[in-house]
Structures are given as C-alpha cells and as structure tokens.
Amino acid sequence: MKKLWNAYSENKLFQGVFLLIFIAVTSLSLYLAQKSVTAFLLLLSSLLLLYFTKFSNLVKWLIAGVILVVLLPAAAGGGDAFESYMEVATLVGIYISMALGLNIVVGMAGLLDLGFVAFFAVGAYTYGIFATGQASNFMPFGTYPLSGESFWLFIVLGCLAAALFGILLGIPVLRVKGDYLAIVTLGFGEIIRIIFNNLDKPVNITNGAMGIASITPPKIFGIELIYSSQFYYVVLIILVFTIFTVRRFEHSKIGRSWKAVRENEIAAQSMGVPLVRTKLIAFAVGASFSGMMGVIFAGKQTFVDPTSFTLLESITILVMVILGGMGSVPGVILGAAVMTILNLQVLAEMTNWLNELSSSGAITIPDALSPSKMQRLIFGALLIVFALYRPKGLIPAKNPVYKEEELVSSKVLDMKQDQKVQA
C-alpha cells in the first residue's frame, strides 16, 4: 500500500490520470444525478486533489480554470438544482475572498480582528444606499437610484470605502496591543452594526432595522444580472484577482514586514520596519477585499439589513482562517470553502433528513437540536479543537527555509565572483 502511495506521489502521469478520472466521474455523476450534493462536493474537492499534484503552477491554474469556468456550471447545469448549486458556489467565493482579507490582518500581521464583518457591511451599504432611493434623502445632487451599470464603479468605491474605514479603525487601535486589540475591534464591529441599525433618524440613510430592499441589480452590456449563475462569474473574476494580489503581497516587502511585526513588534521596529504604516496597510488591504465582496453581496441579494453583519459572521470568518491555517493562502481557501459548504449544504441537508425521519415517525428529534441551529456549537468546538491540537490549521503556512550551508556557499561564490570582477 505504502509502495503504491509512494509511486503515486512521485509520478506526475499517475496523478494526472487519476485526477482526470476523478473529475470525469464526479462531473458525469453530477450531470446525471442532479440532486446529488455528494457529487457536487466531490467535483469541488477535485480542486484540492489538484493542489496536491506535482504539476507546475501554471498547469494547476489552467486546470482549475477549466473546472471552475466550464465544467462545474456545465455539469450542474442540467436540472432544477442549477441555481442553488451556483448560489452555494458564489457564496463560497465571497467567503473565500473575505477570509483571505482577514488572513492578511490576523494571519500575516498577527492583529486579531473580531469585527471584520463591519467592513463587509460598509461595502454592502455603500452600494445599497446609492442603488436605491435611500441616497436622495441626504445627497443634494444627482438622481437616485443609480443605474445598474454603476455597480462596476461601486466595486472599486466599496473597496476604497472599506479601506478608509480600516484606516479609521486602525488609527486609534495602533496604541493597543494583543488582547486589547481584539476587544476594541469587537467593539468597533458592534458599533458599526448599531449605527447602521439606527441611522434612520434624524436623516434616513440606512433605513434602520428594516434594511434596504430592492437594490438595483447590476447591469453589463444591457444585461441585468439577477441569477446566481451570472454572479458566479463576477465572483470568480474578483476571487482570482484577490488570490493573485494576496500572493503578491505575501512575498513583497510589505508582506515580510507584516510577518516580522507578527513575530515580534519590538524586534521588527528595531530592524527598521515602520510599525504604524505596516499595521495600517494590513488593516486597509484586509478590509478592502471585504468591502469589494460587500458590494457584490448587496448586488446579488438586492437586500441588505443589519442582521447579516453580526458577531457570528465575524467569528465564522475567523474560524475559516484558523481552520485553514493562519497565514497560509491555500489553507484559508480550503477553510473558507469547507466552512461555507458545511454551513449551507451539509447542515441544511442534515436538518432536512432529520425532519423527514421525524415526520415519518422513525425517530423524534426535538426542534431545539436541529443541526442548522447548532452553528455556534460546531464553530465553538472547531475553534477549541483546532487551537489545542492543530494550531497551524489544515494546510500550515510555509515559510521559505534556507539551508545554512547553501547560503554560506553561495555567499562564498558571490564573494569570489566579486573578487574576480575587481581583479
């Protein structure tokens, strides 16, 4: 068995063939059995299989692109369940993007932020207010609601607004550290929610607890986007952009500064890392991804209200980051996907199943124990188990390891070359 495994993990051809068979079987079974959630999940998990193959990065991206852009919608597209699958996939994308944003703040810069959903709310309300008649209550010029084409501009605006809020939060927070930071961000998240909840007077800006309804759906080339399957592609594009940006940030100068600040602030400062700027950038960048997705969320749901932005949401995103592995981009993507699917599909399916069982009289499960109500219990247990036994998450972050001998020998070589040049 072990021999077989070794042969598999060494041989690219083996991996390729296996992956191909796996994808073919799962997409075929999804196409044939439209109601099978298992097939849908297995098809998604082929991406994970792909991640662990030995292909080059470009090949991996290409295969992933084919699966996500063509295969998944095509395989799911045959039946009535199409939109619900696409809904799940879209939400997975939104959450992955937010988790990647939080990963910058918590995982890379080591600043525990418990009010992260506030930035999502800022993004969602930015579009929500201007794409409905709400804005005419306080804006002296312009006619509202704005047309659906403005959505694309608002993705950028939402991103900027959230970044601005990130900096606003960052400025007072910079003087506090560690645990205090967690509490202050938590307080900030609650403050934002309470303000949105009550900003219907004196001037009606957010329509208070009623929420903003019938937001103009986005429009492109005269087509209105109203279906999840259309948003799926929008989210996919932004998600690719997010992953690309986060990757670039991670290996840049600022990314290394974040990690230095995380490991030891004082040491980082004495090595010349500007603390204030580094932390503020972390807050702003992390928040901006969340703001972008907030705009998309508002456009997709066409309805925003303060109950979507509670502490539970912030903690859910935190669980995603911790489950996947703090600071690890592939880990966080996996964590976010697992949590969202668990939340939307697995728990809902289990609830349905139990309901069917109890209505047929086989067993009786009291309503209080229905799985979809147990989110908090599951999230809590996951947090504890992972913090205790696997604090680095499912896919731990990899830091480049330099071997001492190699560094020394390369340095010696460099010096020799220098001497040659000089001579």
Partner 1 sequence: MLNDILQSIPQVLIDGLTLGTVYAVIALGYTMVYGILELINFAHGEIFMTGAFIGTAMLIVLTGIGWVSALPAIVMLITVLLLTALLTGLLGMGIERVAYRPLRNAPKLIPLITAIGISFLLQDLVRFIAELKKGNYIVTGPSLFTSQIKINSSAISSVFNDASIKSSFIIVLVSAIIMMVVLDFFVNKTKWGMAMRAVAQDRETASLMSVNVNKVISLTFFIGSALGGATGVLFAVQYGTIDPYIGFILGLKAFTAAVLGGIGNIRGAMLGGLLLGVMEMFASANLTLMTGGVFGAEYKDVFAFAILIIVLIFKPEGLLGKPVAEKV
Q: Which residue's CB is nearer to partner 1, number 190 or number 349?
A: 190
Q: Name which position in 184, 205, 261, 293 contacts partner 1 (CB under 8 A).
A: 184
Q: How far is the CB of 375 from partner 1 (least distance, A)?
A: 8
Per-residue binder mask for partner 1 (CB under 8 A), 230-269, x = binder: ------------------------------------x---
Taking alpha carbons only, the member of 160, 152, 143 closest to residue 218 is 152
How far is the C-alpha of 107 from the C-alpha of 259, rounded, in Å? 9
Determine if 178 is a binding residue for partner 1 (CB under 8 A): yes
How far is the C-alpha of 243 from the C-alpha of 336, rounded, in Å? 13
| Selected range binding partner 1 among 95-103, 181-189, 250-258, 300-308, rule: CB under 8 A | 181-189
How far is the C-alpha of 16 from the C-alpha of 33, rounded, in Å? 25
| Selected range binding partner 1 among 145-153, 179-187, 279-287, 296-304, rule: CB under 8 A | 179-187
Burial profile 383-410: b = 16 or more Cβ within 10 angstroms, e = fewer: eeebeeeeeebbbebeeeeeeeeeeeee
Tell me whether the omega of the peptide bond preceding residue 366 falls within 30 degrees of 0, making it cis: no
Backbone angles phi, psi at 304, to 5 degrees: -130, 140
Determine if 190 is a binding residue for partner 1 (CB under 8 A): yes
Q: Which of residues 374-393 bind partner 1 (CB under 8 A)?
A: 374-377, 379-384, 387-388, 391
Report the sign of the C-alpha dihedral through residues 256, 187, 288, 318, in that order. positive
Q: How far is the CB of 176 from partner 1 (least distance, A)?
A: 5
Q: Which of residues 105-164 bind partner 1 (CB under 8 A)?
A: 106, 110, 112, 114
Write the CB contacts of 371 (distance below 8 Å, at least 6 apart in sequence). Answer: 347, 350, 351, 354
Determine if 373 is a binding residue for partner 1 (CB under 8 A): yes
Q: Which residue's CB is nearer to partner 1, number 180 or number 244?
A: 180
- In terms of phi and psi (left: phi > 0; alpha: psi -120 to 50; beta: otherwise), the region of 55 is beta
- In terms of phi and psi (left: phi > 0; alpha: psi -120 to 50; beta: otherwise), the region of 219 is beta
Q: Which residue's CB is nearer to partner 1, number 368 or number 423?
A: 368
Q: Which residue's CB is nearer to partner 1, number 34 or number 197?
A: 197
Q: Which residue's CB is nearer to partner 1, number 117 or number 186?
A: 186
Taking alpha carbons only, the member of 241, 293, 247, 279 closest to residue 117 is 293
Q: Which residue's CB is nearer to partner 1, number 155 or number 322?
A: 322
Q: How far is the CB of 190 from partner 1 (least distance, A)?
A: 6
Determine if 180 is a binding residue for partner 1 (CB under 8 A): yes
Taking alpha carbons only, the member of 296, 309, 313, 127 closest to residue 212 is 127
Determine the size of the site formed for partner 1 (CB under 8 A): 47
Determine if 175 is a binding residue for partner 1 (CB under 8 A): yes
SS3 212: strand
Write the CB contacts of 187 (distance below 8 Å, at least 6 apart in sequence). Answer: 115
Residues that bind partner 1 (CB under 8 A): 106, 110, 112, 114, 172, 175-176, 178-180, 182-184, 186-188, 190-191, 194-195, 197-198, 201-202, 266, 311, 315, 318, 322, 366-369, 373-377, 379-384, 387-388, 391
